[in-house]
Structure 1
Amino acid sequence: MGRWIRESPAAIVPLALFVGSGTGLGAIAFRWLITAATRLFTGVSDYSAVGRVGNPYLPSLGVWFVLVVPVIAGAVYGPLVYRFAPEARGHGVPEVMYAVAERGGRIAPQVSVVKALASALCIGGGGSVGREGPIVQIGSALGSTVGRLTRLGTPRMRMLVACGASGGIAATFNAPLAGTFFAMELILRDFTAESFGAVVLSSVTASVVGRSVLGDHPFLTLPPFSVRHPAEYLLFLLLGAVVGAIGVCFSKVLYLIEDVCDWAWRGPEWLRPAVGGILLGALLLALPQMYGVGYPVLESAVEGHYMIGMLALLLVGKMVATSLTIGIGGSGGVFAPTLFIGAMAGTAFGDVVHDLLPSMTAAPGAYGLIGMGAALAGATRAPITAVVILFEITGEYTIILPLMAAVALAAGVSHLLSRDTIYTLKLLRRGVDIDRPRAGAALTGLTAGQISSPVPPPLPATTDMAHAAQALSHSPLGMLPVVDACGEYTGCVTARSVAEALSDPANDTATVGALAELPPTVTDDEHVADVLRRLADHPGTGLPVFDHDRTRLTGWISHEAVLAAIHPTDTH
């Protein structure tokens, strides 16, 4: 059974369904946690919708309770994150992107629980962040855990991480298409038939699970969309350029305020959210609409309940509140704040053009809807996701043409203004560039069989740990093939896995057969450019090479062999 899961192309189907259903249940539980935490701290399910009112549990404090709530929440989730999962701090998606691009999809399993608790406390305690980033990280951690338990190779491990990410977006927004393209565009960053099929299955499953509990209704109640005049398309293009630039601005403000917080704070990291919560509480006292995710405020804006001045105040307030929440060590996403900022900017733009051209333009809320997609494209540079998610949120096909025009221009402006996105900039600040060019142009025409070395002596599956350790110590490869009693290849065993088995007193593994892993399969007729990508995806020191029928082990290919093919040494 284990070998079928690791080798069969069909095995990804049940795994994707399992991850999708688990992520759907996780999204339901996470939303319940946020609502429960918000009720605990404020007495209502969404404080941003009720304005500046007191907490019924603490009537003596009146509206001043919002000064205390972020401090209490930070005092709880700060030590929790610091002690158990430091990667749960922040907005989550960059950590998933890093895990997929650089760590073979490996995410610590405790991240799911810590991220859910920390983000629920942060949002419920006034943090002006979104719930989409956390549920993406929660679902991705589930996918990674499933991949590790089933001992999948790196490509499939990454695929399951993307399945968890897509399921998180699908269940949260009731938007299976948006979940799919979010995972493909931002997490995997590569479209293949197998990965697309797996991600779609997970996304649909998570959405079905979410709908069964949360109901099958639009995520947001938004006004109908219409285009009043063909000339409006020029206004939508202008809107895309303006709001795309605002999306880039949000990214810069986010990390600027985070840098200021890093510069100002000299105490222990676990205490930072509690102390910084004083500043956040003061901001919430002045502008209670910034409390939590703020979707009711977004809906009120696109429905035309705010004047231009208030829309501008809410836009700037959200930028500062979200940046401050992340800067003090809070846990939550920036996806929802980006939509919020786009809605404010778009509706304000719509107010201006509607006052100037009342007979030619639609209601300002229509521009708010387009602004949401444009801000998302400007900040994340994921135009397909931006178009699809707004289409699924509104359920109106009439939005597609102006939305595509605005999103395309927003993404173009984002490229002109910054080489980084709101997600990749966080990684670049750590010295990680996931967009760096990959090698491969010099390998055209070469095949794996032409540069592979002879097969190293295999280990019988019955070899004990001591003899396996001795054999691996004399091998420069760090891993050796394993064969069964009939001489058939069953996988590879690594020096690392043997060392871990020997150092763990509780491990009762007796032979290398139980430790055999199945690295990606390479055939001798494959182009080396394709093999190089498999080597980059695999953390080992090489890969076994098979004949065309994948029945006989013919050689071994390593990074050194590929480098020698690119730069052959002078033998004269």
Structure 2
Amino acid sequence: MVTALTMRVDWARARGLRSRRLGLLLLALGVGVGAGLGAVAFRYMIEGLTHLFTGFSDYAGHPGAANPQLPALGRFFVVLTPVVAGLVYGPLVQRFAREARGHGVPEVMVAVARHGGRIRPQVALVKAVASALCIGGGGSVGREGPIVQIGSALGSTLGQSFKLDERRVTLLVACGAAGGISATFNAPLAGVFFAMELILRQWAAESFGMVVLSSVTASVIGRGVLGDSPFLVLPAFHVDHLAQYPLFALLGVLAGLVGVGFSRVLYAVEDACDWAWRGPEWLRPATGGLLLGLVLLVLPQMYGVGYPVLGRAVDGGYGIAFLLVLLVGKLVACSLTIGIGGSGGVFAPSLFVGAMAGAAFGEVVHSVAPTSGGSVGAYALIGMGAVFAGAARAPITAVVILFELTGEYSIILPLMLAIVLATGISQVVSRDTVYTRKLLRRGIDIDEPADAAVRRRPAAPFVTPAPAPLRVDDTLEAAAARFAAGTDAELPVVEADGRLHGTVTATDVVRALSAGDDTRVGALASPADPVPDTATVGDVLTALGHARSVVPVADASGAVVGWVRERDLLGTTGLGRG
């Protein structure tokens, strides 16, 4: 009978487990559908607003042209488009979802690492509208950051609606991020690895399977509506000579430095904008948009994401000098867009900067060794992946997305070489990435345990006066009376000269009395090493690992000035023993 009952219980558990997995699988599928449809809608919103503002579906492909609807303004209309867009999305973001400002991915990363994947539902809609307005109005940012935040918000909302635990909510957040990247770039593998490498930051079989399902679903929807062609048509890639590998290695080193520089410039410009702006935040995008408009007037190729310009650079359509101008221009325009409070991603701008750096490097190589140096486009492709790897430190994603864009297996070896070197250089010269730097500036280090910040706090607020001590020669009856009259379960024991001898618990005293022991309190006391009054919460937790329920606190002279009770510390911080 017992065996049969056990079998029924095991079967019920297995059936419940299968039911939960099936439910999670269906939710991951739903997130993929939502992310795919969201990416399609977002793409159309950007194209529609760009056409509304400029008269073209992608103004970067027609730099310097006049708006057909405003011919009297000529090419000067680009000065006004960021201002008008900022007047709309600035108040929208400030009023409804301030986390929609910026490039989006760091907010998703911290939601997963610190907040159990919880993202407010309105973020998806506000981010979509604000980013579409920003990019359509000339913001020189990418669409991958917004779609990651949009897809992640959809996954989080669905998980919270079904009251899932934090682990499953964060998994659905990653599914949304993967689906968004997959449908946006028509790159399902890149979506998976982006979500696993940057969002979840851990690898597990169940997580991987769910993320793949969501990514594939979103990609199928994106391809069904937007077509099967990649977002960027790139030239065929070939390695003609083994002598090119040292050149690819050198490019990887330089691209790693460029990637770190991209991150530094981005946040330096944002700091400058923070320092200069004194008005209301809702007005900042419109006012700063005037500066962005002037940049677009001088260099209209910076309007929006800039894929046509990127494609022409990869095809070898620009000279070295202009490639460097475009590189610096994208750094300035992207940083300014983010700094004034714009909404958009930095993934595509890093690819743009990498393409310009790689193409310029390739032009130099081609001028020195025209027969053995290889094509300019090859170096541009390698530069794209290596600069992104240097900026984001996501080498797997960098390799996979460039492989999916080209479809050329021959790109793998040189790409891996350059990306590994770029990632290594980035780690040597910089502690942070273009994504984590934003969080570190807020005091959030997602590479640390979630309770690390609490453990670094001073323990002084938790120190309370120690109760009146027992003496080593007090009788057990006197100690029992003290415990009965108070609320403490542990009391300090001091020597005749007042020095701390140790601590004794009520349990120790009751057990000794029950055994008929006539010893003194000092014999029952356990040693207690005090922590200094400058100790941190982590120091006290470590001491509690070797103590009972209290830790004495001593000043510089060694005199006990108080103690920390375990219940007070853990009840306030929610931490466990060290």
Query: TM-score by structure 1 length?
Result: 0.76
Give the C-alpha shift of residue 364 in structure 1. 0.8
The answer to whether the aligner puts 1:18 opposite 2:30 as a matched pair is yes
Q: Contact between 1:4 and 1:11, CA under 8 Å: does it hold in 2? A: no
Q: Which residue, 247, 257, 275 being the options, matches 2:259?
A: 247
Deviations 1:123-147 (A, max 9, x none): 0000000000000000000000000
Match of 2:124 in 1: 112
- C-alpha distance 103-5 of structure 1, shift in aligned 2 (>3 A): farther
Following the alignment from structure 2 to structure 1, what is the Cα–Cα distance between the partners of residues 318 and 292?
A: 24
Give the C-alpha shift of residue 439 in structure 1. 8.7
Q: Which amino acid in 2 is paired with 1:178? A: A
Following the alignment from structure 2 to structure 1, what is the Cα–Cα distance between the partners of residues 375 and 101?
A: 40
Following the alignment from structure 1 to structure 2, what is the Cα–Cα distance between the partners of residues 269 and 182?
A: 32
Q: Which amino acid in 2 is paired with 1:131? A: R
Q: Which residue, 316, 328, 331 being the options, matches 2:343?
A: 331
Following the alignment from structure 1 to structure 2, what is the Cα–Cα distance between the partners of residues 564 and 278?
A: 49
Question: Tell me, what secondary structure is at the counterpart of 1:228?
Answer: coil
- C-alpha distance 157-356 of structure 1, shift in aligned 2 (>3 A): same
| Equivalent pairs, count | 447
The answer to whether the aligner puts 1:131 opposite 2:157 as a matched pair is no
Q: Which amino acid in 1 is paired with 2:316? A: G
The answer to whether the aligner puts 1:93 opposite 2:111 as a matched pair is no
Following the alignment from structure 1 to structure 2, what is the Cα–Cα distance between the partners of residues 316 and 5?
A: 54
Match of 2:233 in 1: 221
Question: Tell me, what secondary structure is at the counterpart of 2:278?
Answer: coil
- C-alpha distance 71-565 of structure 1, shift in aligned 2 (>3 A): closer
The answer to whether the aligner puts 1:144 opposite 2:156 as a matched pair is yes
Q: Which residue, 280, 283, 294 being the options, matches 1:268?
A: 280
Following the alignment from structure 1 to structure 2, what is the Cα–Cα distance between the partners of residues 299 and 163?
A: 30
Match of 1:553 in 2: none
RMSD: 1.9
Match of 2:67 in 1: 55
Following the alignment from structure 1 to structure 2, what is the Cα–Cα distance between the partners of residues 14 and 4?
A: 15
Give the C-alpha shift of residue 95 in structure 1. 0.3
Match of 1:403 in 2: 415
Give the unaligned 5+ runs of structure 1: 441-557, 568-572
The answer to whether the aligner puts 1:287 opposite 2:299 as a matched pair is yes
Q: Which amino acid in 1 is paired with 2:104? A: G
Question: After the TM superposition, which segments of 4 or more aligned residues of structure 1 sit over 2 Å from their partners?
Answer: 3-7, 437-440, 562-567
Match of 2:179 in 1: 167
Give the C-alpha shift of residue 217 in structure 1. 1.4
Question: Tell me, what secondary structure is at the counterpart of 1:277?
Answer: helix
Q: Which amino acid in 2 is paired with 1:376? A: F
Match of 1:189 in 2: 201
Q: Contact between 2:139 and 2:337, CA under 8 Å: does it hold in 1? A: yes
Q: Which amino acid in 2 is paired with 1:396? A: E
Give the C-alpha shift of residue 219 in structure 1. 2.1
Q: Contact between 2:114 and 2:450, CA under 8 Å: does it hold in 1? A: no
Give the C-alpha shift of residue 425 in structure 1. 0.1
- C-alpha distance 130-162 of structure 1, shift in aligned 2 (>3 A): same
Higher Cα Rg, which structure: 2
Question: Tell me, what secondary structure is at the counterpart of 1:60?
Answer: helix
- C-alpha distance 100-559 of structure 1, shift in aligned 2 (>3 A): farther
Q: Contact between 1:5 and 1:150, CA under 8 Å: does it hold in 2? A: no
Give the C-alpha shift of residue 360 in structure 1. 1.4
Following the alignment from structure 2 to structure 1, what is the Cα–Cα distance between the partners of residues 311 and 143?
A: 17
Query: TM-score by structure 2 length?
Result: 0.75
Deviations 1:228-254 (A, max 9, x none): 111111110110000111010000000
Q: Which amino acid in 2 is paired with 1:158? A: T
Match of 1:363 in 2: 375
Q: Which amino acid in 2 is paired with 1:180? A: V
The answer to whether the aligner puts 1:421 opposite 2:433 as a matched pair is yes
Following the alignment from structure 1 to structure 2, what is the Cα–Cα distance between the partners of residues 319 and 217?
A: 28
Give the C-alpha shift of residue 12 in structure 1. 1.6
Give matches, 1:58-97, under 5 Å.
Answer: 58-97=70-109
Match of 1:277 in 2: 289
Identity %: 68
Q: Contact between 1:75 and 1:273, CA under 8 Å: does it hold in 2? A: yes
Following the alignment from structure 1 to structure 2, what is the Cα–Cα distance between the partners of residues 273 and 5?
A: 50
Following the alignment from structure 1 to structure 2, what is the Cα–Cα distance between the partners of residues 191 and 5?
A: 21
Following the alignment from structure 1 to structure 2, what is the Cα–Cα distance between the partners of residues 21 and 9?
A: 18
Give the unaligned 5+ runs of structure 2: 1-14, 453-568
Give matches, 1:421-500, under 5 Å.
Answer: 421-437=433-449
Give the C-alpha shift of residue 10 in structure 1. 2.7
Give the C-alpha shift of residue 11 in structure 1. 2.0
The answer to whether the aligner puts 1:121 opposite 2:121 as a matched pair is no
Following the alignment from structure 1 to structure 2, what is the Cα–Cα distance between the partners of residues 111 and 566?
A: 37
Report which stretch shifted further, 348-357 or 245-254.
348-357
Following the alignment from structure 2 to structure 1, what is the Cα–Cα distance between the partners of residues 158 and 17?
A: 11
Give the C-alpha shift of residue 565 in structure 1. 8.0
Following the alignment from structure 1 to structure 2, what is the Cα–Cα distance between the partners of residues 204 and 82?
A: 35
- C-alpha distance 102-437 of structure 1, shift in aligned 2 (>3 A): closer
Give the C-alpha shift of residue 218 in structure 1. 2.2
Match of 2:388 in 1: 376
Following the alignment from structure 1 to structure 2, what is the Cα–Cα distance between the partners of residues 28 and 63?
A: 30
Q: Contact between 1:227 and 1:361, CA under 8 Å: does it hold in 2? A: no
Match of 2:547 in 1: none
Give the C-alpha shift of residue 358 in structure 1. 1.7
Give the C-alpha shift of residue 423 in structure 1. 0.2
Following the alignment from structure 2 to structure 1, what is the Cα–Cα distance between the partners of residues 145 and 576?
A: 42
